[in-house]
Amino acid sequence: MNTTLAPSMWTMDSLGWLYEGVDPKFAGNGGPECNNFLSVKQRVIETIIFVALGSLECWFAWQRLGVSDPHFQVEPRDKGERFGKRFLLVILCLTFGVEIGFKFASKTVIYLLNPCHMLTVVQIYLLAAPPSKLVRVVFRMQMASLSCPLLALLLPVVNTRLLPFEAEIYWIQHLMIYLIIPPYLLSLGGVYKTEGIWDFSWCWFTAGFLHNYHFICLQGLGLLTEVNLNAMVCPAPSDPFFGPFYRVCGFTHQHLLFPLHIKAYTYVAKSLVLRDQEEECNGHVGGMMKED
Distances (CA, A) of 2 to 7, 11, 65: 11, 17, 55
Going 247 to 251 to 252 to 257, the CA torsion angle's sign is positive
Integer Cα distance of 198 and 179 in angstroms: 23
Q: Does residue 195 contact residue 141 with C-beta atoms inside 8 Å?
A: no
Of the candidates 184, 180, 116, the residue with the CA atom closest to the CA atom of residue 154: 116
71 burial type by CB count under 10 A (0-12 exposed, 13-18 middle, 19+ buried): exposed
Phi-psi region of 256 (alpha: psi -120 to 50; beta: other; left: phi over 0): alpha
Please tell me what DSSP assigns to residue 75. Answer: P
CA-angle at 138, arms to 135 and 139, nearest 5°: 80
Decide if 218 contacts 30 (C-beta within 8 A).
Answer: no
Give the pTM.
0.85
User: Per-residue confidence of the chain (292 residues) as pLDDT tens digits?
Assistant: 444 444 445 565 667 778 888 888 887 888 898 999 999 999 999 999 999 999 999 999 988 887 766 655 555 555 556 788 999 999 999 999 999 999 999 899 999 999 999 999 999 999 999 988 899 999 999 999 999 999 889 888 887 788 889 899 999 999 999 999 999 999 888 889 888 888 888 999 999 999 999 999 999 999 999 999 998 999 888 778 888 899 998 888 888 888 899 999 998 988 887 654 444 444 455 554 443 3
- Which alpha helices (H) appear in the chain, and where do they start and end? 16-19, 32-35, 40-62, 79-105, 115-128, 133-144, 147-154, 166-175, 181-188, 201-212, 219-225, 246-273
